[in-house]
Amino acid sequence: MISGIESVTLGVSDLPAALRLLHEVCGLRIESDTRASVSLLSVWGLAPYADVRLVELSCDGYAFGRLRLAEVADPAARVTRADFGPGAADGPTDVGPKALDLYVAPPLDAAVRVLESAGCAVRAGPVRFVVRDSATEEALLGGPGQTPLLLMVGHRHPPRAQRAVPPAGRTSEVATVSVVVANLDSTRRFYVDGLGLRADDIDDELTGDERDRVCELFGVPAGSRVSLVLFRDPEQPSGKVLGVHFHERTTRELANPMRPGNIGVNLFSTRCAQLENLRDRLQAAGLAGHLPILHVALGDGMPARVMLTRGPNGELFEFIER
């Protein structure tokens, strides 16, 4: 029914600093630099007079896993996820978006040093673990808008999971978005039965050392139960969603769920060929109520139709029919 995630919208209070990191250091390419149209602001629930600068970045023009930076001028803007450091409003197992996963070239330590020298604080890792036939090494850093960036080296990843190895010192597009999920069954129903994505690569509860390494990475006590389930568009290796469930340790929803105007993760945007069909499918499965379809002008000036839908873990999807 939908594509993989075409772009993740990040609200940032310091757009020049975010661009220095993502464009100059990480090597992502600026595809557009526009202002949000009045119609788009209306769909997002923002004031029609708001001046929201939008900058979209890609990895070498690739159409999926892009980052769309939205400048947030309000000094009192809420943060979607704040689960690191003293006085954090959210816990590491609170339900909602967790991190943006980017591939880097080996060795991982070198990539971590590059981003650390650019101002990204290391939160956890590196750790190395194996899930099914994939061997991964990962480290978690703080990125723009307090959004965690998970750097990955795919020591053994299939082509359907990793599009390409980026040059040394640079990052890939957003290969995967990790989301802490409250309930595995309702999450599978939304992504598979509702959105039509596949979940056949990873759908496992981790055990032993692999479990404890993932716990270390996500800031959860060793020995906690952890299950992973990966949702993907079979046509695209990037723009995937990784559901992470901590069973009895899973806590409440984020204090500030995803929404435009927040600092941090605002929206997951995907393509949809026929919004009415998607809406009917979601409603028939009991996964959504009233879903208006609205006409907008996107950043490229082209008309489109948009439908916003919230998932079972606070995810906010922007489905776009061009």
265 token code pair = 């993760």
Please give the Cα distance from 53 to 278 (Å, whole number). 30
How many angstroms separate the Cα of 60 from the Cα of each of 15, 29, 164? 21, 6, 11
Please give the Cα distance from 271 to 275 (Å, whole number). 9
Q: Are residues 268 and 197 in contact, defined by beta-carbon separation less than 8 angstroms?
A: no
Cβ burial of 59 (10 Å; 0-12, 13-18, 19+) is buried
CB atoms within 10 A of CB 161: 20
Please give the Cα distance from 322 to 309 (Å, whole number). 17
- DSSP strands (E only) in 86-170: 96-104, 122-131, 134-142, 148-156
Please give the Cα distance from 68 to 88 (Å, whole number). 25
Supply the pLDDT for residue 300: 65
pTM as predicted: 0.95
> Which CATH number describes the domain made up of 2-79+257-321?
3.10.180.10
How many angstroms separate the Cα of 268 from the Cα of each of 122, 166, 240, 293, 311? 25, 23, 11, 17, 11
State the 10-residue block means of pLDDT for the chain, 322 residues long: 96 97 97 94 93 97 97 94 89 96 96 95 91 89 92 91 91 97 96 94 88 92 94 96 96 96 97 96 89 87 91 97 94
Please give the Cα distance from 43 to 261 (Å, whole number). 12
Supply the pLDDT for residue 86: 83
Question: Looking at domain 96-249, what is its CATH homologous superfamily?
Answer: 2,3-Dihydroxybiphenyl 1,2-Dioxygenase, domain 1 (3.10.180.10)
Q: Are residues 238 and 159 in contact, defined by beta-carbon separation less than 8 angstroms?
A: no
What residue spans define the domains of the chain? 2-79+257-321, 96-249
The reply to whether 96-249 shares the fold of 2-79+257-321 is yes
Nearest CA-CA partner of 228 in 66, 98, 84, 83: 98
Please give the Cα distance from 97 to 86 (Å, whole number). 20
